[in-house]
Amino acid sequence: MDGSKIRTLSGGVNQSGLRDHNERLLLSMLQRNGPMPGSDLARIAGLSPQTVSVILRKLEGDGLLIRGAPVRGKVGKPSIPMGLAPDGVFSLGLSIGRRSAKIVLMDFTGVLRAETSTTFQYPLPDEIFSFLNHGSAELVEILPKNLQERVCGIGIAAPFELWNWHEMVGASAEEFSLWKGISFQDEVSAFSNLPVHVVNDATAACRAEHVYGRGKEFRDYAYFFVAAFVGGGVVLDHSVFEGHQGNAGALGSLRSVGPNGESRQLIDIASIHLLEARLVEVGLDPSGLWKSDDWTAFERYVEPWIRQTAQELAKAALSTCAVIDFEAILIDGGMPADVKKTLVERTRRYISNQDTRGLIPPQIKSGEIGRKAREIGAACGPIWSQFLLKSNTRL
């Protein structure tokens, strides 16, 4: 399939931008809570049963909802739960990383239908947009013809001010200056007329955790995503908070102190690129860090990395709680499950030994989404903007 032929929604779904508040409210309730009968939706939403019935019929007619099996109660007619139709809407999500880029095709219920990836020495615009053009077209082609027009947009998760990455990825400032002034929307419009939604990569990971992970458990929390470079996100009142310029939760920029008393950022002392550098230093191939879910071959070097990272995360967690009274800190990242478990346990232990005067120590919990969080969070963007409510306060 030619990337230039990726189309927008058609039929009843192409009016998604005009979805009114009540339609978005009911869709959001079903997304967050799972299938529910109209009577329950009406009661929780504070709408009349007749209003809810009309909206549900409309959404079902548009292919966004499906009926579940009737549930019989003790009296009266059986209730019929309504749920999101997996084939109702699709979205593409691109994440731009230090050594690779990934695209996923996600359905309305958050299930990944297909994905593709590419690797490079470091990301540059021409290569990234060529990959997005052809990769997204290939993923859309996997869908049956009648569903291809239900792809509602492209979400892009990218680091904030990507042009400042050059020193951290080993590129020249001149090469990376190509990113400065780049408009993702304009670049994508050259091969697709789908709406484009750009979000900070760590915020995207936070969104994925909030929507499909442990986000339902807490009202307010800070989220750390430990990857090649550590980043983060903030959730307030059950909603991901992006901030005035989309850079809220830039937790990788939290200040710390280096071994010689110099001022450092968290990104410089609590990221996987430090472990990678150590492996290179001792003559080992670090590619297994990114390609494998088994780091046992590097155990000798992983242990001190966990110790340092946990210490820094503990200090950073308490710093964030000094500003906002977070009830929890969630930690996730691009690492094997056993490494993440140990990192979370160590962070919890270090916090218990810190000076917490004036603070209420938060719960330290492990995130659930893992390596694919950034691209999943990117794919959430178009769906959220067109069909769901930004705030989950009432849900």
Under DSSP, is residue 159 helix (H, G, I), strand (E, B) or coil? coil
Beta-bridge partner residues of 106: 91, 112
Average pLDDT (362-375) is 96
Name the pairing type of β-strands 221-226 and 328-333.
parallel
pLDDT of residue 79: 85
For 83, phi and psi rounded to 5 degrees? Answer: -140, 165
Is residue 161 very low, low, confident or very high in pLDDT (cuts 50, 70, 90)? confident
Contacts of 367 (CB under 8 A, 6+ apart): 209, 213, 214, 223, 225, 330, 331, 332, 333, 340, 373
Class of domain 11-84: mainly alpha
**For 32-72, what is each residue's pLDDT tens digit?**
999 999 999 999 999 999 999 999 999 999 999 999 988 87
Across 76-90, 126-140, 173-187, the highest mean pLDDT is recorded for 126-140
- Stretch 154-159: mean pLDDT: 95
H-run or E-run covering 288? helix 288-291
For the chain, give every domain's residue range.
3-8+89-204+375-387, 11-84, 214-368
* 13-37: pLDDT as tens digits: 334 444 789 999 999 999 999 999 9
Q: What pLDDT is recorded for position 13?
A: 39
Question: Do the domains 11-84 and 214-368 sit in the same CATH topology, yes or no?
Answer: no
Alpha carbons within 13 angstroms on the beta-carbon side of residue 372 total 18
| Token reading at 157 | 């998760």
At residue 10 the predicted structure's pLDDT band, cuts being 50, 70 and 90, is very low
What residues contact residue 272 under an 8 Å CB cut-off, 6+ apart? 226, 227, 228, 289, 305, 333, 334, 335
CA distance 323 to 305: 28
Q: Domain 214-368, what architecture?
A: 2-Layer Sandwich (3.30)
Q: Global pTM? A: 0.89
Helix (H, G, I), strand (E, B) or coil at 106: strand
- For the chain, the residue count is 395
pLDDT, tens digit, 9 for 90 and up, residues 87-104: 999 999 999 988 899 999
Beta-bridge mates of residue 101: 96, 118
388 pLDDT tier (thresholds 50, 70, 90)? very high
CATH class of the domain comprising 3-8+89-204+375-387: alpha beta
By the 10 Å C-beta count (0-12 exposed, 13-18 middle, 19+ buried), 76 is classed as exposed
Pairing of strands 151-158, 112-119: unpaired
